[in-house]
C-alpha cells in the first residue's frame, strides 16, 4: 500500500515537473503608488508590498518568473490583475517585485517571463 502511494506521488511529480515551460519577452513596467488599495481584476486589493503582477491573458494565480534582461535579476510573482494596456508591455509588476529586479529608477525594462503551461 505504501509502495503504491509512493509510486503514484513519484509519477505525479515527474509529470508536473515535465510540464511545458513557456517564455515571453518584452517590456515590463510597475504600478504607481496611487493604485495602492484599489481593486484588481480578480477582486483583490492591490498591495505594493506583495509580489504580484498584471498580465493580459494568463489565468489568475499563475506563478511567473520575471527576469530583468539588463542585470539578470529575477523575481517570482503571482498574476492577480489584467494589463498592461500600453503597447509593447507584457507585464506590470508590483512595486516590491520591481524593486527586487532593480527597475525602480528605469521605470520600464526589457524582461523575460517564464511560466509552466
How far apart (Å, rounded) are the C-alpha atoms in residues 32 and 48?
Answer: 9
Mean pLDDT confidence for 65-89: 96
- Per-residue model confidence as pLDDT tens digits over 20-41: 789 999 999 999 888 898 999 9
CATH superfamily of 20-116: RlpA-like domain (2.40.40.10)
Beta strand extents in the chain (DSSP E only): 21-30, 52-54, 63-68, 74-81, 89-93, 109-116
Segments making up each domain of the chain, as ranges: 20-116
Q: Which residue has the higher pLDDT, 6 or 85?
A: 85
Amino acid at each position: 500500500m505504501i509502495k503504491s502511494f509512493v509510486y503514484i506521488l513519484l509519477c505525479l511529480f515527474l509529470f508536473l515537473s515535465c510540464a511545458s515551460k513557456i517564455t515571453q519577452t518584452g517590456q515590463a513596467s510597475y504600478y504607481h503608488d496611487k493604485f495602492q488599495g484599489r481593486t484588481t481584476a480578480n477582486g483583490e486589493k492591490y498591495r505594493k508590498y506583495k509580489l504580484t503582477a498584471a498580465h493580459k491573458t494568463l489565468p489568475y494565480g499563475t506563478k511567473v518568473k520575471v527576469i530583468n534582461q539588463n542585470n539578470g535579476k529575477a523575481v517570482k510573482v503571482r498574476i492577480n490583475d489584467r494589463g498592461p494596456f500600453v503597447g509593447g508591455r507584457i507585464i506590470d509588476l508590483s512595486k516590491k517585485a520591481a524593486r527586487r529586479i532593480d527597475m525602480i529608477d528605469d521605470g520600464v525594462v526589457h524582461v523575460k517571463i517564464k511560466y509552466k503551461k
